[in-house]
């Protein structure tokens, strides 16, 4: 769905981030979910390097993005927002109780069991490259990531998606795996790499990514968008 300035749904994001972060800010996960659900939204943008206004901390206690407001529900944290969007979208959360619970479990697994170590690996590679502590830490961290990818590959087997059909769990897992693009580690597990490409080939992801990238074309001096 195209961004609609009149939409009841508002998602916060950034008007500028450093190049390495472009296309990876977490409001992309929410945009993707909204695209899968066929729901329009509008954006409210902040400059990543400027202090958030005081009022924003009543919406997002840590001053991060995204925050979400649909006129009835106000939320923060991308996982919680995706689950909320999925409540009426069978593509994201199947209607039967067991399948919905499994999709929810995979979303939480992506955030709790996979993302932390990928995030740490990126912190080393982007912000601490060349430092001695990072050189010592990286090999063991790589092995932990490899272990998670091996388990993920074993689970996938010959399935297209984690539970056979695409769900919010796949949306979040693919979003998290994007953090490995610089490392090349995913290429060691062909099943995982193919699964990842399958998720990102979805038209809803392409639309969400294009929308986020378009926001970064704004003047970096804008600060808070109106």
N-to-C CA span, the chain: 22
Alpha-helix runs per DSSP H in 92-202:
97-109, 115-127, 132-156, 168-177, 190-200
Q: How many residues does the chain have?
A: 226
Same domain, yes or no, for 43 and 62? Answer: yes
Largest CA distance in the chain: 52
pTM: 0.94
Same domain, yes or no, for 123 and 163? Answer: yes
- Please state, in angstroms and rounded to a whole number, the distance separating the CA atoms of residues 156 and 47: 39
- Please state, in angstroms and rounded to a whole number, the distance separating the CA atoms of residues 212 and 54: 24
Give 113-143 pLDDT, tens digit per residue.
999 999 999 999 989 888 999 899 999 999 9
Same domain, yes or no, for 83 and 133? Answer: no
Name the strand (E) or helix (H) holding 44.
strand 42-47
Q: Which two tokens stand for residue 142?
A: 């790589």
- Please state, in angstroms and rounded to a whole number, the distance separating the CA atoms of residues 112 and 106: 10
> 104 is in which domain, residue-wise?
97-202
Tell me, yes or no, whether 221 lies in a domain: no
Give 172-197 pLDDT, tens digit per residue.
999 999 999 989 999 999 999 999 99
Give 28-42 pLDDT, tens digit per residue.
999 999 999 999 999
**Residue 51 pLDDT more than 50?**
yes
- Please state, in angstroms and rounded to a whole number, the distance separating the CA atoms of residues 161 and 169: 9
Same domain, yes or no, for 209 and 197? Answer: no
Same domain, yes or no, for 77 and 117? Answer: no
Q: 158: domain CATH number? A: 1.20.1050.10
């Amino acid at each position: 769905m195209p961004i609609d300035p009149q939409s009841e749904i508002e998602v916060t994001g950034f008007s500028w981030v450093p190049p390495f972060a472009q296309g990876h800010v977490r409001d992309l996960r929410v945009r993707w979910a909204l695209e899968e659900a066929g729901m329009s939204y509008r954006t409210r943008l902040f400059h990543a390097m400027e202090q958030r206004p005081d009022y924003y901390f009543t919406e997002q206690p840590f001053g991060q993005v995204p925050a979400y407001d649909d006129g009835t529900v106000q939320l923060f944290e991308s996982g919680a927002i995706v689950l909320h969007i999925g409540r009426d979208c069978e593509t994201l959360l199947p209607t039967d109780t067991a399948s919905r619970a499994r999709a929810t479990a995979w979303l939480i697994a992506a955030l709790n069991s996979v993302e932390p170590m990928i995030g740490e690996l990126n912190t080393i590679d982007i912000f601490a490259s060349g430092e001695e502590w990072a050189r010592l830490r990286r090999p063991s961290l790589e092995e932990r990531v490899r272990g998670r990818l091996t388990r993920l590959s074993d689970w996938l087997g010959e399935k297209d998606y984690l539970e056979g059909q695409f769900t919010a769990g796949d949306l979040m897992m693919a979003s998290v795996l994007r953090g490995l693009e610089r490392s090349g580690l995913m290429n060691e597990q062909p099943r995982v790499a193919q699964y990842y490409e399958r998720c990102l080939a979805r038209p809803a992801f392409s639309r969400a990514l294009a929308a986020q990238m378009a926001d970064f074309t704004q003047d970096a001096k804008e600060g808070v968008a109106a």
